[in-house]
Structure 1
């Protein structure tokens, strides 16, 4: 790595965030002409080999990285001094790209490199339920505490670095830019100069680079097909598993009565899948994971599937499927919103407010 070239760090957890980042980078390429050492950082803990291979494959297709680093591989997560590990592995950092600004890794990197510019990219709809106005911050004081704490820590670290001649430059606190893929869901309509709109065409371009071989054994041509994207609200205690299962059973009954063949895609992080339970009630239901890896984002499979309707509650994938592929979508958020809390509830309310009438299922 050439020492005279500054580095940019990009922090992601998995395939979806990587795709969102790649769309932002295509837009950034039109704006910034400077050359950087671009270092991709996977933040996951104890990531299995199959998920690693998938992420490696996507990463190699969507951008030319100087280096790809997994925090697992540099013993970050097991280290008693995590910031020391980061200092040892990354040099001359001028930008840190984040979608989870208050995650442990992101905070540690921003403190280790206090003069680096923080650049945001979207992490789905969840990026739009954080405070954006003074009124929002008053209603969610915990975010004020987080921002203030980070501001003070960055200044302290920068001060000591300057005194010890370890780093020149003043601390950078407020984000330099925000690359907005889901900008139509932005509650604060004020057109800030830092906000850069990323058109859906950029994501479509990146997704098209990650072609997945079609599985011909899944024969759904000449049929009316609905694919349900399972979630796992019960994992967080927002409702119990039986309630969530009953919700999916009601949805399946409705779409089956409307003449659809049912495909089910389990959420890849759900430790207690619903499919076997659903199969007991609906013999015709098929599991998409029997044909494609459960780790593959639906965005990479959509062009292989002749699906007439996609259904989910608050999944960000619904928006991508609609915007990128023009797919017909239906959100069941109104049916569960009263039982939700936190970010899930905020996303549900956002969808109910912003989606078209025909894209929302209000009753069964």
Structure 2
């Protein structure tokens, strides 16, 4: 009651308070019986523990509270074990703590599974998917129980995909957000959640090598087509241009991986139909420029000069996407190669930078990428 607001509310009801106290006393008495007889918790014990978890779900207790109460209970039990032997009998203390460790895991599993099973009946698919995504991002062990209820296998590594929508928020009500989550989950069976009114985060199983760095050009070829279908489906449902950032990492560090993917998404190109799923290796220059106001201002001035020419930013974008192949770039732009040559000369005249030089690629491609990301709108 002191630590958790939801238990303060529970304690205000005399009957609920008495039931909670009875359960705490029962568990301690049962511990003494089982330890003295060297027995495990039996099926009836686990069923009773599960019924408490079920009651908490019916009472609307949050996942955070359920996790915290198990931690508090374990902490108090271990302190009481020490007090019971008065700090003298080390063998008895070890026997008590060993029993609590082994049986505590079984008890927690029964409690959580019953809680999650009840949540399955009470909560919408979107709410459970959002909760699962949050638990995975925070590294919470409860995620496994919720994933089982949703029928989602968990993985050791994930590719975190952040879809950023410039402009106003998507939809006019929370129901629009939940509807999109439920539909995307139903079609692709991946955890996803809104991280703000303009940002959707998706967790995709990552089958790259365990030693691979998150600073890599994104996703593995093995599931690149599936990932592109997923992202395009999301952007089509959002019905607006989006930027996509990705980063891969282990399941026990997804919070840091998500932050990296978010930073990538903020410098990635905004596209109506995604053609690129950017990773750090794809936008490292833009990330650096965004962190240095002086560099960003310098590139902005170059972009301002390019704006005075005939479609020069789009021309450079096509030119660099074609790996500076003149014929391929001209075909993509639907212009004659000589027209392309004229535009490239115009770029050089306006910026004093040759777009076909190493220096030109570094400066102008970064400028075009910042324009495409909507950095200066």
- Larger relative CO (CA 8 A, sep 6+): 1 or 2? 1
Could you say whether these structures have the same fold, taking a TM-score greater than 0.5 normalized by the shorter chain as the test?
no
Bigger-Rg structure (1/2)? 2
TM-score calculated relative to the size of structure 2: 0.25
Higher strand share: 1
Structure with the larger helix share = 2
